[in-house]
Amino acid sequence: MSATGGKGILALVSAALALGALVWMNVSIASKVIDISPRAPGSPHSIQTPPNAPVEDASRPEPELSQTLLRPIFSPTRTDFVPVSEPSEPPLEPAISEDTETAVLPAPLEFKGTRVLKGKFSALVSAGDGMAEWHEQGSVVGGWTIKSIFADRLFIIAGQHTEVLSLYGNDPPVPDESTQ
């Protein structure tokens, strides 16, 4: 037997062993039971392992996904995550004068939501007629001018009167002057 014939057989045996090892790994991975079903909102936050699972798999910490699992993942109304940004300029303080107190304000707006397109916020606002439309900063809606739009609040002005509308309640967080 020549030296080249021995090298060829050695290469063939090595390739067969490597292929066998890959097949064995594939079968062992495919036979593991992996549960990817979502948990109920009230379920305890601990990892439930099958009775035949090794102990070392149960020691992994579970990520906090409660808020993620409560929202629909594949929904046409789902929006991208937008980090809350602080205003670059402090909100305008309303000027209090005798004219402001007696002035008639426009009808209140309904602030429905926000979105970001090409790095700019837009607000979904209804002027009380039930029809909500997307507006950008500077738009006039129902007599109100949109001064600033943030992920969770909207600053609007009408004459000398300024209001802050919040998505999450009547008392929106006002930026702290000391942190700017």
Q: What is the pLDDT of residue 23?
A: 94
In a domain, 44, yes or no: yes
Domain boundary among the residues 70, 87, 116 is at 70
What CATH number is given to the structural domain containing 105? 2.30.30.830
Instruction: Catalogue the E-assigned strands of the chain.
Output: 110-117, 120-126, 132-135, 140-141, 144-149, 153-158, 161-166
Total-model pTM: 0.40
Judge if 175 and 132 occupy the same domain.
yes
| Phi then psi dihedrals of residue 135, to 5 deg | -135, 150
Judge if 65 and 127 occupy the same domain.
no
Q: Within 10 A of 150 (CB to CB), how many other CB atoms are there?
A: 21
In a domain, 91, yes or no: no
Judge if 117 and 52 occupy the same domain.
no
Q: What is the pLDDT of residue 156?
A: 93
Judge if 36 and 108 occupy the same domain.
no
Judge if 63 and 104 occupy the same domain.
no
Q: Are 140 and 50 in contact (CB under 8 A)?
A: no
How many domains does the structure of the chain reveal? 2
In a domain, 85, yes or no: no
Which of 99, 85, 89 shows the shortest CA–CA distance to 161? 99
Judge if 113 and 165 occupy the same domain.
yes
* Residue position matching structure tokens 């030296």: 3
Q: What is the pLDDT of residue 92?
A: 63
Q: What is the pLDDT of residue 172?
A: 46
In a domain, 77, yes or no: no
In a domain, 76, yes or no: no
pLDDT tens by residue, the chain, 180 residues: 566 677 889 999 999 999 999 999 999 888 887 766 666 666 655 555 566 655 554 455 666 666 666 666 666 676 666 666 666 666 666 555 555 455 678 888 888 889 988 888 999 998 877 788 899 999 998 889 999 999 888 999 998 899 998 888 765 455 554 444
Q: What is the pLDDT of residue 22?
A: 95
Judge if 107 and 165 occupy the same domain.
yes
Judge if 126 and 53 occupy the same domain.
no
Q: What is the pLDDT of residue 109?
A: 87
Judge if 175 and 108 occupy the same domain.
yes
In a domain, 75, yes or no: no
> 3-state DSSP call for residue 98?
helix
In a domain, 84, yes or no: no
Contacts 24+ apart (CB under 8 A), 80-85: 80/116, 82/114, 82/116, 82/151, 83/151, 84/150, 84/151, 84/152, 85/150, 85/151
Find the domain containing 32 and state its range.
3-70
Judge if 104 and 64 occupy the same domain.
no
Which of 156, 119, 115, 163 shows the shortest CA–CA distance to 139? 156
Judge if 59 and 105 occupy the same domain.
no
Q: What is the pLDDT of residue 147?
A: 94
In a domain, 117, yes or no: yes
